[in-house]
Amino acid sequence: MQLMHLNLLAIWQQSVVYKYFSTESMELLCEIIALAFNLPNLAKKNILI
């Protein structure tokens, strides 16, 4: 999952859209992406417990 997240980040940084975003927007987007990937994992852990 972490590799997938890093790959998406690399693709995003190379995209044209990236140039139009400030550093703060980028950080917020990273947090949202990380959260989106973590939610299913957290749900699985809670179910297992």
pLDDT digits (tens, 9 = 90+) for 1-49: 566 667 777 776 777 666 666 667 777 877 888 888 877 776 677 666 4
Distance of CA 3 to the CA centre of its chain: 11
**pLDDT value of position 4:** 66
The residues spanned by each domain of the chain are 2-48
